[in-house]
């Protein structure tokens, strides 16, 4: 049994838009690491692309953002808040991700205030970077 909460205990996201299966590291207000296991049954694989199912890059960015939200929402200072995307910079897609793959999602929060923050994240496929990006978000009341 994991020492960390289930992602759905911190995130408001629910299937089919919850892209985090397991939290593997969590330092509230600072960083988080999690896994997303892609089974091939996910709704987007059927159309992206028939015959060569590929995880859309924007969903990798969303999964990274969800892991960043875990680090934010685990911090008691941000109770009753919801982090919303404010921007995405320097996104790079380096590896194709396919059914059966497991992504290791790593986010470090680089700046936090009472109303907004920034973070840096990457999605790893084994030892290879599949995606990396810089996140900006605003905090709103729930």
Q: pLDDT per residue over 93-105, tens digit each?
A: 999 999 999 999 9
Check if 13 is active-site.
no
Q: Cα separation of 71 and 77, whole Å? A: 11
Residue 137, domain member (yes or no): yes
**Burial per residue of 120-141, b for 16 or more beta-carbon CB atoms within 10 angstroms, e otherwise:** bbbbbbeeeebbbbebebebee
Q: Which pLDDT tens digit goes with each residue over 66-121?
A: 999 999 999 999 999 999 999 999 999 999 999 999 999 999 999 999 999 999 99
State the catalytic residue, choosing from 13, 35, 48, 95: 48
Residue 116 forms part of a structural domain: yes
Let me know if residue 2 belongs to a domain.
Answer: no
Q: Does an H or E element contain 129, and which? A: strand 128-141
Q: Give CA separation, 38 vs 62, 71, 100, 104, in Å.
A: 14, 22, 5, 11
CB 84 within 8 A of CB 11: no
**CATH at 19:** 3.10.129.10
Tell me whether residue 120 is in a domain: yes
In a domain, 126, yes or no: yes
| 1 domain-assigned | no
Q: How many residues belong to the chain?
A: 142
Are 120 and 79 contacting, i.e. CB atoms less than 8 angstroms apart?
Answer: no
| pLDDT confidence of residue 7 | 98
Q: Which residues contact 133 (CB under 8 A, 6 or more apart)?
A: 61, 64, 88, 89, 90, 91, 92, 120, 121, 122
Q: Tell me if 90 is assigned to some domain.
A: yes
Q: Confidence band (pLDDT; 50, 70, 90) for 133?
A: very high
Domain that holds residue 26: 7-141
Provide the number of structural domains found in the chain.
1
Residue 66 domain-assigned (yes or no): yes
Alpha-carbon distance 31 to 49, whole Å?
Answer: 33
């Amino acid at each position: 049994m994991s020492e960390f909460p289930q992602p759905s205990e911190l995130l408001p996201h629910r299937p089919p838009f919850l892209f985090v299966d397991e939290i593997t590291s969590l330092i509230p207000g600072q960083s988080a690491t999690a896994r997303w296991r892609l089974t091939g049954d996910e709704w987007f694989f059927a159309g992206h692309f028939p015959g060569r199912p590929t995880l859309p890059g924007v969903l990798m960015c969303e999964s990274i953002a969800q892991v960043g939200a875990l680090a934010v929402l685990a911090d008691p200072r941000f109770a009753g808040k919801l982090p919303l995307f404010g921007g995405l910079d320097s996104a790079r897609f380096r590896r194709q991700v396919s059914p059966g793959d497991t992504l290791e999602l790593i986010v470090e929060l680089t700046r936090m205030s009472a109303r907004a923050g920034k973070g840096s994240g990457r999605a790893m496929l084994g030892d290879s970077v599949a995606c990396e990006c810089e996140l900006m978000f605003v905090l709103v009341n729930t």
